[in-house]
Each structure stands twice: as C-alpha cells, then as structure tokens.
Amino acid sequence: MALHDTHPIWTTPEMRDAIASSNPGAVVRLARRAAELTQTQLGQATGYTAASVSRMERGKQPMRDMRLLTRIADVLNIPPQLLGLAARHATSPGPGTVPRPHPGGTRVAARDGRDVFGDEGEGEDPVRRRNLLAGLAATTVGTVLGGASASSAASRPALTGLEDLLLHRGGDLTGTQLTHTTVTAALDASRRDFGTCRYDTLARALPSRIALAQALGREHPDEQGQSATAVAELYSIATRLCIKLGEDGLAAVTADRALTAALAGAGALTVAEAHRMVSSSWRRQGHYARATDVAVTAAQHLAADRTAPEPQRLSVQGNLYATAAYTAAKQGDRHTAHTLIGEAEATAKRLGADQSPAGTAFFGPSQVLLHQISISHLLGDAGTAIDHARHVNARQLPTAERRARYWIDVARSFDQWNKPERCYRALLAAEEAAPQEVRRSAVHTMTAGLMRHDRTLPGVRSFAHRVGALT
C-alpha cells in the first residue's frame, strides 16, 4: 500500500536519520517496509529485480536512474525531493520534520568535566567556548589518531570474509591447533576486539575463529558442548559487529546461526543471549513487536532456569529486559518501554552492582542508566536523557565500546535539544574513547547537522572528514 503523508514512518528516528543524511536507499527501505511490500513486490512494480532493489537499499548500487526513482516515489508515495528528484526547500517542512524539544535548563556534572555538559551554564563566554572546542578537537586528533591519515581513520571494515563463511566458503585453519584452549583464546580475543572497538581487526579475524570453533565439534565429539557454546557466542559477536556496521541483512543471518548453534548443545545463558541477538536483528528490520516478544520471552524462561549461577543469570536476564525496553521505545510505546526498563532496573538491584560475570555481558545499574538515556532520547525527552547521563561515570564503564556509545547517546540527546556545541563536545569525547565507533551513520547524521555551525565549532570540518561524514 502507498504511504499517506501522516503515516508514522515519517516521524521515526530511523527515517529522520535517513532524510538528514540524504540516504535515498534507507528512505526507500523504510518506506517499503512500512508499506508492507517485499523487495520482490517493489521490484515487480518498478520493473527491477529484488536483488537490484536490495542493492539499492543497502547503498551497494547507486540510485541515479531518474525513471526508477520516479517509479519508486510513485509506488510508495515518497515525496520526490527525498530521492533527489526535486530541490529541498528549507521553509517547507516535509515528512520526517519533527520540532526539536527544548526541555528546561538541566545542568549536569560531567564524567570528566565541564567541557561536555557545561557546568558553567548557558551564559558562558562564546570566545572561551570556541577556544575550548578547538582545544578538544586538537587533543582528539593528536592523542587518539596519532599519525594515522584521515582517510585511513574513516575506512570501513570489510565483511567479505564473514559473508564467505556464511556461504560455507571461509575460515582458513592452516597451522592452527584444534584444541579447547585455542578456541577459548579465539573467543576471548573476539570479546576484546569488540570491547575495544577494533572492528577492522575483528572483521578480519572472525571467519577463521568461527571456523575453528566449528571444527572443534566435528573433530572432537567429546567437545560438542564447548564447540556449540563458542560458535554461538562468536556468531553473537558477529551479529553485534554487523549491527554496528549497518549490515542488517547480514546481522539477521548471523543471529540465526548463533541461535542454531546455541540450541545444538550450549547452556541456558548462551541460548538466552542468542535470543537477544535475534531480537536485535528483528528490531533493526522494523519488526518491533516481534523483537520485544522474543527478548521478554527469553528473559522469562531464563528466570525459571536454575542451571546457571545467579549473577550470570541476572546479568543476561537484565540485558534482555533492557533490550526489550529499547525496542519498545523505538516503536514509540512509552508505557511498555518504561515498564520493561523498570524490570531491568529491579534485576540490577538484585544483582547489586555492575558486573561482568564469566561468559556473560556487562550488566548492572550503569547499564540500566545507559539504556534510560537511549530510551528517553527515542521518546523525545532530551532533558530526561541528559539527567540520566549525569549519573553515569563514563570512566568506570568497562570497555571503550561502552564509553563511546555513552558519549554518542549524550550527543544525540544534545542534538535533539538543539545544543550543537554540547553535541560536538560529546562526539569528540566519543572519538577519544574509540575512533572506530564514531564511523557509524548516526554520527554522520549529527555531524552533517553540525557543519552548519562550522564558524562557532572549530575543527568540526576536520572531525567530519575523520569520521567519514564527508565521503
């Protein structure tokens, strides 16, 4: 069905990001899904194959054919200017143009200081602010990027090796010892690579590490359980990597592989974590109700399981509730989001403190706060998001990935609040925590908006180049 002008899709965060970043493929993908059309059906309606539609939606095939774009716009009722068919008019709000909230003047204390949250208040000296931003930008370039060129900093990790593995063509094990110890080491290395945001290293290494874990079960039948657990956990890490890189189709496959492996002999915790990855992949494809149900059901099943030690069980259970709450917020379901994050908070209180029990992801009060920031932002409550952020000590977050994600969510909230300087400072803090994390499309979208303020945000053009927002 064609989309009317007041369809909810036009006001979702995903569509707003796609429009702001001038990403016609993403606009088409979101509109097609909202219209409940498959790629095959859209292809038939426009005279193209489903494979061509898929490539265009993923940005793998340039969308330059004006006749095709016109047909797509007609079929889905997409405003032509969103596909580059007509000039944008800044004074004419279109679909996806949502007024930014201006919450009251929340002033908060930062984790490492006043440079991001602005304890000095809104009336601070503008010259001082510009000098501070310039200093932050220079520090980030010098200490974080070192001598690396801007182009290398913005390069995108390649997932061709993982794609080959999924097609049963990858995983070179030449010269590798096939033992329980080497598989454990491969899993630990993958966790470290993800936690330190070394996504390029992880993308290169994952195929052989997964193949190693799979081979362990084939060659040593007595190690079937160890093999199933390692394969499932490695595919879960692969899913998180694919989501980071915006490869939603690939994430759906790796999440399915994680769950399949887990059900073949892994324990309850690994099965539950695999369900969380399935939930995340459903969310990324816009199936919010199903994604929420998968995570909540897994949490409820785990609550009744007593085969795992309580700290591990509570950590996984709490992450499932937090994931479900985030998904509900993406759907705009405020009541369900608050109810589920309340379940996560209650679980964190039972756990007592932030923990990373063996074999489980980090969880505790800080993880709940991180989700509360994201949820508040998604629901349009920028002031509430920043209020939650003030209670997080970013230095105590366990990994660079968590710290960078925190700062990106802070930046999103300040961007929503229409505070470009605070947004920029938070992005610089994210870059300092993990340069590869700021290559994501959400950062590109915010950076594109910040470029309008280049005279008052020293170094923002250089930052945009470093993160790949100008390419």
> Would you state the pLDDT for residue 39?
87
Q: How far apart are CA 52 and CA 60, in angstroms?
A: 9
Name residue 355's beta-bridge partners: 363
The reply to whether 49 falls in a domain is yes
The reply to whether 184 falls in a domain is yes
> Would you state the pLDDT for residue 262?
96
> Would you state the pLDDT for residue 128?
55
Check pLDDT > 70 for residue 114.
Answer: no
> Would you state the pLDDT for residue 416?
94
> Would you state the pLDDT for residue 431?
95
User: 200 exposed, middle or buried (CB, 10 Å; 0-12, 13-18, 19+)?
Assistant: middle
Answer with the one of 48, 83, 118 that is the final residue of a domain: 83
User: Helix, strand, coil % (nearest 5) of the chain?
Assistant: 70, 0, 30
Check pLDDT > 50 for residue 221.
Answer: yes
Q: How far apart are CA 109 and CA 464, in angstroms?
A: 27
User: 395 exposed, middle or buried (CB, 10 Å; 0-12, 13-18, 19+)?
Assistant: exposed
Question: One-letter amino acid identity for 404?
Answer: A
What's the rounded mean pLDDT across residues 57-79?
A: 79
The reply to whether 352 falls in a domain is no
> Would you state the pLDDT for residue 77?
84
> Would you state the pLDDT for residue 16?
80
Q: How far apart are CA 32 and CA 347, in angstroms?
A: 38
Check pLDDT > 50 for residue 122.
Answer: no
The reply to whether 64 falls in a domain is yes
Give, to the nearest 10 degrees, the angle between helix 248-263 and helix 268-284: 160
How far, rounded to the nearest angstrom, does the alpha carbon of residue 19 sit from its chain's CA centroid? 18
Token pair of 389 as six digits: 């952020």
Mean pLDDT of the chain: 83
Q: How far apart are CA 39 and CA 32, in angstroms?
A: 8
Q: How far apart are CA 234 and CA 33, in angstroms?
A: 30
Answer with the one of 266, 298, 332 that is the final residue of a domain: 266
Check pLDDT > 90 for residue 75.
Answer: no
Question: 248 is in which domain, residue-wise?
Answer: 156-266
What's the rounded mean pLDDT across residues 278-287?
A: 95
Same domain for 248 and 165, yes or no, is yes
Return left, alpha or beta for 22; rule: phi > 0 is left, psi -120 to 50 is alpha, else beta.
Answer: left
> Would you state the pLDDT for residue 6?
63
Answer with the one of 266, 289, 306 that is the final residue of a domain: 266
The reply to whether 203 falls in a domain is yes
Token pair of 322 as six digits: 């937090």
User: What pTM was estimated for this model as a whole?
Assistant: 0.71
Please tell me what DSSP assigns to residue 355: B
Q: Which of 82-96, 207-221, 254-268 has the highest mean pLDDT?
A: 254-268
> Would you state the pLDDT for residue 127?
58
> Would you state the pLDDT for residue 407?
97
- List phi, psi (to 5°) of 355: -140, 155
Cβ neighbours, 10 Å, residue 29: 25
Matching residue, tokens 């073949």: 264
> Would you state the pLDDT for residue 151?
39
Check pLDDT > 80 for residue 65.
Answer: no
Check pLDDT > 70 for residue 126.
Answer: no
Total tally of structural domains belonging to the chain: 2
The reply to whether 198 falls in a domain is yes
Cβ neighbours, 10 Å, residue 394: 21
What's the rounded mean pLDDT across residues 319-340?
A: 96
What's the rounded mean pLDDT across residues 136-162?
A: 54
Check pLDDT > 80 for residue 107.
Answer: no
Check pLDDT > 50 for residue 190.
Answer: yes
13-51 residue pLDDT tens: 788 878 877 788 888 888 888 887 888 888 878 777 887
The reply to whether 394 falls in a domain is no
Check pLDDT > 80 for residue 202.
Answer: yes
Question: One-letter amino acid identity for 338?
Answer: H
> Would you state the pLDDT for residue 155?
57
Same domain for 162 and 250, yes or no, is yes
What's the rounded mean pLDDT across residues 424-431?
A: 96
Q: How far apart are CA 60 and CA 40, in angstroms?
A: 17
> Would you state the pLDDT for residue 93?
41
Check pLDDT > 70 for residue 288.
Answer: yes
CATH number at residue 35: 1.10.260.40
Q: For residues 108 and 333, which has the higher predicted lDDT (pLDDT)?
A: 333
pLDDT > 70 fraction of the chain, expressed in percent and rounded: 80
358-399 residue pLDDT tens: 667 789 999 999 999 999 999 999 999 999 999 999 999 999
Check pLDDT > 50 for residue 424.
Answer: yes
> Would you state the pLDDT for residue 5?
60
> Would you state the pLDDT for residue 446?
93
Check pLDDT > 90 for residue 71.
Answer: no
> Would you state the pLDDT for residue 170?
62
The reply to whether 181 falls in a domain is yes
